[in-house]
Amino acid sequence: MTISATIHKAKEFSLFDFCKKRADKVQLFGKESLDEEGNVIPFIDQAALITHYLQLRNTNVKLSYKEKAEGILNLWYNFVREKQVKPHNDYAFAEESTPAAMQGYLFPDLFQAPFQHQQMPKFKFIDLFAGIGGFRMAMQNLGGECVFSSEIDEQARKTYYANYGDVPFGDITKESTKNCIPEGFDVLCAGFPCQAFSLAGKRLGFADETRGTLFFDVAEILRRYQPKAFFLENVKGLVIHDKGRTFKTILKTLDEVGYIVPDPEIVNAMFFGVPQHRERIYIVGFRKDLGINKDEFTYPEQKEVTKKWIDVREENPVPAKYYLSTTYIDTLKRHKARHAAKGHGFGYDIIPDDGIAHAIVVGGMGRESNLVIDDRQKDLTPTTRIKGEVNKQGWRKMTPREWARLQGYPDNFKIVVADASAYKQFGNSVAVPAIQATANNLLKVLKNHGYIGK
């Protein structure tokens, strides 16, 4: 289709960027913006419908929300055209409301995201509890096309959009969100939260034993859509959580909804090219009717550590804000001494240049357990309010970019949020190389049976 006007300086304005710091306060009303129950769809969920539609509209993926997305897209387009939001003076508005024209005004950066959809995908997958897209990064690297993503954290959704070009859908516990999942995808991916099952072990069906937990929604989607395979990730403590009852209930449930599950395995990211000691439980499964035996799948070998901390350290000196104050260092030393006197090993830790980082985590002593010595920065003038002065011994926190590298994200992965959110996002992420190596083995099984393209 022809767009009848030229778009000037498209990178300087997009509706999503305009609203990104106050998406919860912006709302566009109209019949197009109502859900099945007559409630107004929140702004960021409207963005999810539109961006998924624009990314997938020229594929063979059947979208149940096509008409809804087109209606909301038209609503947004008219909102801009009527200059309720004033774009740059150099803008000339298209005179025909084509999806391409609307896309140009509302999402000029949509197809400029660094990690675009595959042009000739070998398989389709969905990304649940997506975070910032660690599973997606790995699966796209292996030739997959993401046809649905879901994440409830608004800051993570912004990072996801900036890097992949679509906004994840929101609350997966809602039926309206589940209904947006397209039929016919091959693999379900999910790093679901660890929660106890209050009725575990009562010999009930999965719906009763797991209801009220987020794993219930994973199981329900597997039961309803029956993809060929799944790949789940969780903290290694899941195995012993609630005296092992949680893990047993999960395996029983996966069997009930129609899947064989090779013995799950704890996988450590440090054996896959990232210098981080990060152990997670991986669970994969295949639909029973595919004729796949458990022993056809094996987890990748974990035998060699090839990277150390210095390999992911930022190449140039980092700003003074990452260096600890003398007062805070004293506090950390006293905290560690108190625990040492009680026979505990809690407290800060300094990672040597040739060392391996501890697992990066959110909260607690997550950053302090991975301090480093870096004396390259000579300008230690404080740029934030601190007690005391910046230490001159080179003690500093790792930067968000270094955390990104510890999780296996490439340097062109965009960090578009404040540091506090970035640390949270990378700390919650999966380790991309370990996921990719395991997913590669899963896909080989499907390929060998002719269920996905080679």
Kindly give, in sequence order, each residue whose CB lies less than 8 Å from that of residue 330, ignoring residues fewer than 6 positions away: none
DSSP state of 290: G
194 in active site? yes
Residue found under tokens 């149940």: 64
Q: Which of 146, 180, 189, 194 is catalytic?
A: 194
Q: What share of the chain is helix, strand, coil (3-state, %, to 5)?
A: 40, 10, 45
Strands (E), 274-391: 276-277, 279-287, 357-358, 372-373
Would you list the DSSP string of 233-263? EEEGGGGTGGGGHHHHHHHHHHHHTTEE-PP
Integer Cα distance of 112 and 103 in angstroms: 12
Integer Cα distance of 129 and 168 in angstroms: 9
Question: What amino acid is encoded at 30 in this protein?
Answer: G
- The widest CA-to-CA distance across the chain, in whole angstroms, is 75
Residue 99, φ and ψ in degrees, nearest 5: -55, -35
Active site positions, annotated: 194
